Amino acid sequence: MQSNYLYLLIAIGFEVAATSALKETQGFTRLWPTLASMGLYVLAFYFLSLPLRTMPVGVVYAVWSGAGIILITAIGWTFFKQALDLPALLGIALILAGVLVINLFSKTVAH
């Protein structure tokens, strides 16, 4: 089970890198960021597929998307100087809470 979370963590890392590169493609008009984004997404989906062999798809996707949203928001705020208002911060906190509830309390996830 620990390897599933390692694969999921790697998948999240590649997805966050791919989405960051996606912003730099400027609508797929820049070759190298476009190729980087596509390659990183392929790696992200490969590593995402590994925990799906034994974990429920809903749980894997909730962790993947929740962690991705939180990390991409942090990157947008830090590197792209994107502002976050109180409703955005509250929404992100609720997403984080949902991911934590699934992982800490759900019997769907075998520990």
Higher pLDDT, 26 or 107: 26
**Chain-centroid distance, C-alpha 18:** 10
Per-residue tokens: 69 = 């949203």
Return all residues near 30 (Cβ < 8 A) that are at least 6 apart: 24
pTM of the predicted protein model? 0.85
CB atoms within 10 A of CB 81: 7
Q: What residue ranges do the domains of the chain occupy?
A: 2-105
pLDDT given for residue 109 in this prediction? 64
For the chain, give the longest Cα–Cα distance.
46
Q: Which of 64, 57, 60 is nearest to 41 (CA)?
A: 64
**More confident position, 91 or 104:** 91
Average pLDDT over residues 71-80: 92
Cα dihedral angle (73, 74, 75, 80), rounded to 10 degrees?
80
State yes or no: pLDDT of 34 exceeds 90: yes
